[in-house]
Amino acid sequence: MIFYDYEVFKEDWLVVIKDTATQSEAVIVNDSDKLKKFNEVHEDDLWVGYNNNHYDQWIHKSILCDLDPYETSKAIIEQNIPGWKISNLFRRIKMFNYDVMIRGDGGLKSLEGFMGSNIKESDVDFNIQRKLTQTEIDETIKYCRHDVEETMEVFLHRKSDFEAQMALAKLPHDHLELKYLSKTKAQMAAIVLEAKKQSRTDEFDLQFPDNLEINKYTEVLEFYRNPDNRNYSQKLTTMVAGVPHVYGWGGVHGAKEKYIGDGYFINMDVTSLYPSLMIQYGLLSRSIKDPKKFKEIYDTRVKYKHEGNPLQAPLKIVINSTYGAMKDVSNPLYDPRQANLVCLYGQLFLTDLMEKLEPVCEIIQSNTDGVLVKLRNEDDFDLIDDIAWDWEQRTHLSLEFSEFKRVYQKDVNNYVMVGTDGHVKTKGAWLKKLNPLDNDLPIINEALKRFLVDKVPPQQTINDCDDLEQFQQVCKISSKYKTLVHNGEVLNERCVRAYASLDADDGGLFKQKYSTNRLEKFANSPKNCFIYNGQVKGAKTPRKLDRQYYIDMVNDRIRAFGMIPPGEWYQGDLWEHTGGLMM
């Protein structure tokens, strides 16, 4: 396994390569012969990088084909030309690539910021139009080496993804083919299911399931029957079971906003809703050679999951990728009519279920594949269970029950639920469990969760913490912006860590737009902040950290949940007595 990263200038190029087998490093600067010799030895190895599927592999192939890597780099970055289109010569180069980048990443620097690493940029301008000096080359090598090491760190955090992809690459022919490691999950699903690309012109040729029973909320049916609504911009906003719902062509969701409640709640999730609909109602892509293969994969995955067999992971990828691939015009699984039917059936069956449940319980929220209800008393469980069983028999779908005793719900996308067994379920950016690759303002999530679940005042969580990493806000500008500006100085970095400051001499963080040169305050950043881009692991909070800024942020989020933060308006035990509910 080879980890690598290229840096390309007008007159120079270099690559840093780390071989995990020999634990050795190779640094090659402007020496195509040396690179060719290295490649001959390692052409059967797996080359791992960050964004290498899009960029680095094409630089590598350009040099091996005696093409100018700078021109290739410009074509990819400035003209947005896919690397494979640049030259037919690239097809002759055997190279097995694995990219640790996943969709939604903000770039390697953002991940480095989340991981607490040094995110200082190189002092060497990548737009230099002359030969680099030796000092500049040395600096660039140091910078490039750092990125390779950080890529290795990201890989370790995503090792389970790699292992699943490795197992997935074995499925088509029962043996590992490294060429499949550079494929996306959706591409691999098409390969495993032996899909053949076909032209489709019946995207909105829809029908309704015969076993559907909606008698009260017929406006939902009328919305989807109306030909004028058969485009993806159309939505229906309506009340279902006393809850505002939004229906569209991507799913249904509805929730009582700012809802807080104690009692007996049941969350009913449809087991593998979309895969189940595809199997039960023949809604798989019509491009699949043998639909039975999908069911075999599904059944095998269920068996492996119950056994704790790790081979369930690649099968899960195939199952979960198939629906999305049906909307991808470049994927052999492309079949938008079937995808629309899957989504339509799911929404209608969920509405059907809510209509049956409404008379006997309170609907708290619904989402694409489930509904949360509150029982009026625990004796109603058998009644709810009977309704669910009847619905399951009619629809051929299965429901999984989870029991909760307390719910704090800002909206359908942000909530905390405390289970009857004490486990906590959260959803939303404000409450999700963070990790080393998604670690923005962790102290805020922790303080909000501790307050909602355990009634711990935010100031206690924040004032007791002296770990600087917990207060980090990773700020990165997009390609629309030229630079970041702090205290009137243009920063060398495009990605920084910002912290609220008590020092009045610390100004705000701004970004300068290319089109207008105007400065815009970085969204949601402190009015006064200091920047710390060095290694933050183990760093302690300085005295100038403005802890009240973070307390106020948590209190604002508490209010958004419909509660009053502790200490704002009570005497004695009044807040404790009301539990913080908005009166």
- pLDDT for the residue numbered 548: 97
**Lowest mean pLDDT across 166-180, 221-235, 395-409, 497-511:** 166-180
Mean pLDDT of 470-481: 93
Looking at the fold, whether 270 and 321 belong to one and the same domain comes out as: yes
| pLDDT band at residue 177 under the 50/70/90 scheme | confident
The answer to whether 432 and 445 have CB atoms below 8 angstroms apart is yes
- pLDDT for the residue numbered 568: 67
- DSSP codes joined into one string, 434-470: PBTTB-SSHHHHHHHHHHHHH---HHHHHHT--BGGG
State pLDDT tens for residues 209-241: 999 999 999 999 999 999 999 999 999 999 999
Is residue 450 predicted with pLDDT exceeding 80? yes
Mean pLDDT of 186-214: 94
Q: Provide the 10 A C-beta neighbour count for residue 296.
A: 12
**Backbone angle region of 455, left / alpha / beta, with phi > 0 → left and psi within -120 to 50 → alpha:** left
Looking at the fold, whether 370 and 463 belong to one and the same domain comes out as: no
- Determine, yes or no, domain membership for 21: yes
Looking at the fold, whether 301 and 269 belong to one and the same domain comes out as: yes
Q: State whether residue 10 is helix, strand or coil.
A: coil
Of 81, 82, 108, 84, nearest to 95 by C-alpha is 84
Looking at the fold, whether 329 and 471 belong to one and the same domain comes out as: no
- pLDDT for the residue numbered 555: 96
- pLDDT for the residue numbered 109: 94
Is residue 571 predicted with pLDDT exceeding 80? no
Helix axes 159-170, 185-192, angle to 10 degrees: 20
The answer to whether 167 and 161 have CB atoms below 8 angstroms apart is no
- pLDDT for the residue numbered 58: 98
- Determine, yes or no, domain membership for 71: yes
Mean pLDDT of 190-212: 94
- Determine, yes or no, domain membership for 170: no
The answer to whether 27 and 14 have CB atoms below 8 angstroms apart is yes
Domain boundary among 388, 403, 427: 427
Looking at the fold, whether 114 and 241 belong to one and the same domain comes out as: no
Mean pLDDT of 484-493: 93
The domain containing residue 406 runs over which residues? 185-427
Looking at the fold, whether 456 and 521 belong to one and the same domain comes out as: yes
- pLDDT for the residue numbered 104: 83
The answer to whether 246 and 252 have CB atoms below 8 angstroms apart is yes
Looking at the fold, whether 414 and 502 belong to one and the same domain comes out as: no
| pLDDT band at residue 569 under the 50/70/90 scheme | low
- Determine, yes or no, domain membership for 179: no
- Determine, yes or no, domain membership for 541: yes
Looking at the fold, whether 456 and 421 belong to one and the same domain comes out as: no
| pLDDT band at residue 455 under the 50/70/90 scheme | very high
Q: Find where tokens 């933060």 sit.
A: 565
State pLDDT tens for residues 272-302: 999 999 999 999 999 999 999 999 999 999 9
Looking up residue 278, the CATH number of its domain turns out to be 3.90.1600.10
Q: How far apart are CA 31 and CA 69, in angstroms?
A: 12
- Determine, yes or no, domain membership for 127: yes
Mean pLDDT of 391-405: 97
**DSSP 3-state helix, strand, coil percentages of the chain (rounded to 5)?**
40, 20, 40
Looking at the fold, whether 322 and 463 belong to one and the same domain comes out as: no
The answer to whether 424 and 417 have CB atoms below 8 angstroms apart is yes
State pLDDT tens for residues 94-137: 999 999 999 888 899 999 999 999 999 889 988 999 999 999 99
Number of compact structural domains in the chain: 3
Is residue 459 predicted with pLDDT exceeding 50? yes
State pLDDT tens for residues 64-78: 999 999 999 999 999
Q: How far apart are CA 372 and CA 375, in angstroms?
A: 10
Mean pLDDT of 29-53: 96
- pLDDT for the residue numbered 79: 94
Is residue 575 predicted with pLDDT exceeding 80? no
- pLDDT for the residue numbered 10: 96
Q: Provide the 10 A C-beta neighbour count for residue 218.
A: 10
Q: Residue 141 burial (CB < 10 Å; 0-12/13-18/19+)?
A: middle
The answer to whether 337 and 200 have CB atoms below 8 angstroms apart is yes
Looking at the fold, whether 257 and 334 belong to one and the same domain comes out as: yes
Looking at the fold, whether 138 and 221 belong to one and the same domain comes out as: no
| pLDDT band at residue 582 under the 50/70/90 scheme | very low
- Determine, yes or no, domain membership for 168: no
Looking at the fold, whether 316 and 348 belong to one and the same domain comes out as: yes
Domain boundary among 400, 427, 454: 427
The answer to whether 555 and 451 have CB atoms below 8 angstroms apart is no
- Determine, yes or no, domain membership for 178: no
pLDDT above 90 as % of the chain: 89
